[in-house]
Amino acid sequence: MAISKDPFTPPSANVINSGDDNDTYQPAMFSIQGRIGRLRYLAYTTLTNFVLSILAAVAIGALAAGSGGDGGAAMGLFSGGLVAIVYIVMLAAMIIFAKRRFNDTNRSGWFVLTFLVPILNFFVALYLVFAPGTDGANDFGPKPAPNPLWVTIVGLLLPVLFIGGILAAITLPAYQEYLNRAAGM
């Protein structure tokens, strides 16, 4: 880059036009900044909860196995501390994801504090799952890039398992009752 001796030549710089509605960015999973859409919010929370729940289950298993014999108290303390750390990490991840989802709807991340209000937190969670994000750039940056395949699969996994669980909870007892009545004939 050549430096001009002319004092009236404007400096050259890479200028990013944040006002262009066609700009997108690829969100990083655990970034505090930026926006994430509904499906990405579901995918990130599902994946994080699944991985951290497995870690918590392993820690609880170690707690149960270490509760007897020599060193049981130390192992129990270690496992209990590990479970507490896993849940603190899970809580921090959920706060980050909710903040970024609020940012996608052009609202401040401070709205995460509404999760502390009982009953209201249920409606806030529904809002985060169902409210559409703003089209194009907003106060918190450009819109996220289109979702990759893994985000779509993991994001739709939670609703499918949720609906499947409800259907199983309804149909399995009814089927068992039908089998009992048929066997009694």
d(CA 73, CA 91): 27
Encoded tokens for 28? 């990083």
Write down the pLDDT at residue 36. Answer: 92
Cα 130 to its chain centre, rounded Å, is: 14
Domain boundaries, the chain: 29-129+146-180
Write down the pLDDT at residue 61. Answer: 78
Write down the pLDDT at residue 93. Answer: 92
Encoded tokens for 59? 């820690």
Residues whose CB falls within 8 Å of the CB of residue 146, separated by 6 or more in sequence, listed in order: 24
Q: Look-up: residue for tokens 């066997």?
A: 183
Q: Taking residues 133-154, report their average pLDDT.
A: 89
Q: Is the pLDDT of residue 53 over 80?
A: yes
Write down the pLDDT at residue 24. Answer: 81
Encoded tokens for 82? 């590990």
Q: Which residue has the higher pLDDT, 70 or 177?
A: 177
What b/e readout covers 57-90, taking b as 16+ CB neighbours within 10 angstroms?
eebeebbeebeeeeeeeebbeebeebbeebeeeb
Alpha-helical regions (H) of the chain = 38-65, 72-104, 120-130, 149-184
Indicate the SS3 state at residue 30: coil
